Structure formats: C-alpha cells, structure tokens
C-alpha cells in the first residue's frame, strides 16, 4: 500500500528543505518522525506536517487497518516553485533583486 502527500508553494527555499529530505529518504516512518521531531530547523517542522499528512493518506486509502510500523519513506523530493521577486534599495540609487524562493515537496510512503 502506498500513498503520497504534496505540498505546493511552501515558503522555504528548496535547498534548505533538501537538507532534511536527504536525511529521511529510505528510512522507516517511525525513525523519520523521530529525526524530524528532534531537528532544530524550520524545514523539519514543515517536513513533519507533510509526513503526518502522507501517513493519514495511507490510513484513509486503505479499507482495513494498516500497520504503520512497516511503512517506509519510499520517495521524497523537493522541487523549486515560483519565486517572489522583490527589490532592496542599495547605495547610489541602485536596487538589488531579492528572490524569495518557494518549494514543491512530494513524499511517498509505502510498505517495504
């Protein structure tokens, strides 16, 4: 049994999110939740929400009760979303562009 959760337009840069995604890829769900819960980063809090969502999707998708202990993070990837473009004033009347990046996060959990 497999299920996925997708978070589009997450207001965090993909580079920061991939740090957490690389750590939990391929791990069992309980181990991944522990890693995410005790990592002191904003990306970890966001990853915990999407991981819980994927587990909830597995439970809703299956008719009978599913054992969550046997679940594994099969796939997890973070793609870049659209950027919010802003300008910051600089010296001598110039303006520098600030790109506020967004992410599209996809996580797939399933049995081994």
pLDDT, tens digit (0-9, with 9 covering 90-100), for 6-27: 999 999 999 999 999 999 999 9
Mean pLDDT of 36-55: 95
Looking up tokens 């993909």 gives 14
pLDDT at 18: 96
Count each helix (H run) and each strand (E run) in the chain, helices first: 3, 5
Order across the sheet with 71-80: list the strands.
2-10, 103-111, 71-80
Q: Which fold has domain 2-111?
A: Ribosomal Protein L22; Chain A (3.90.470)
Q: How confident is the model at residue 63 (pLDDT cuts 50, 70, 90)?
A: confident
Tens of pLDDT, residue by residue over 67-110, are: 778 899 999 999 999 999 999 999 999 999 999 999 999 999 99
């Amino acid at each position: 049994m497999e299920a996925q959760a997708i978070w589009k337009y997450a207001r965090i840069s993909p580079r920061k999110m991939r740090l957490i995604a690389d750590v939990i890829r391929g791990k069992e769900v309980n181990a991944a939740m522990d890693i995410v819960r005790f990592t002191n980063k904003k990306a970890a809090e966001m990853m915990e929400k999407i991981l819980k969502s994927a587990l909830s999707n597995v439970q809703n998708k299956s008719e009978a009760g599913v054992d969550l202990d046997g679940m594994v993070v099969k796939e997890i990837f973070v793609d870049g979303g659209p950027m919010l473009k802003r300008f910051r004033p600089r010296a001598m009347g110039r303006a520098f562009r600030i790109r506020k990046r967004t992410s599209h996060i996809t996580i797939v959990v399933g049995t081994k």
